[in-house]
Amino acid sequence: MLNQNDMDILKSMMESVVDERISKTEDFILEEIGNTQSYIEKRIDIIQKNVDELSKRVEKLEKRIA
């Protein structure tokens, strides 16, 4: 049977393992958030270019009509 000292050592080891896993999970999540942010920013840039182009076309059409 384990004595109190053995139990404390096991508890400390388990806490260390859990802390390490939490840290790795946190790093992974933050990396994925960064990747997602980069992807979204690129898509927003593309959408903005499309909106700008459409705006120019609308202006040209409005000038022809006027």
14-47 pLDDT, tens digit each: 999 999 999 999 999 999 999 999 999 999 999 9
Number of domains in the chain: 1
User: Is residue 19 a part of any domain in this protein?
Assistant: no
Q: CA-based angle 10:8:3, to the nearest 5?
A: 95
Rounded to whole angstroms, how far apart are CA atoms 8 and 2? Answer: 10
The larger pLDDT score, comparing residue 29 to residue 2, is at 29
User: Is residue 49 a part of any domain in this protein?
Assistant: yes
User: Is residue 24 a part of any domain in this protein?
Assistant: no
Q: State the residue range of the domain holding 49.
A: 34-66
User: Is residue 45 a part of any domain in this protein?
Assistant: yes
The larger pLDDT score, comparing residue 25 to residue 2, is at 25
Predicted confidence (pLDDT) at residue 60 exceeds the cutoff of 90? yes
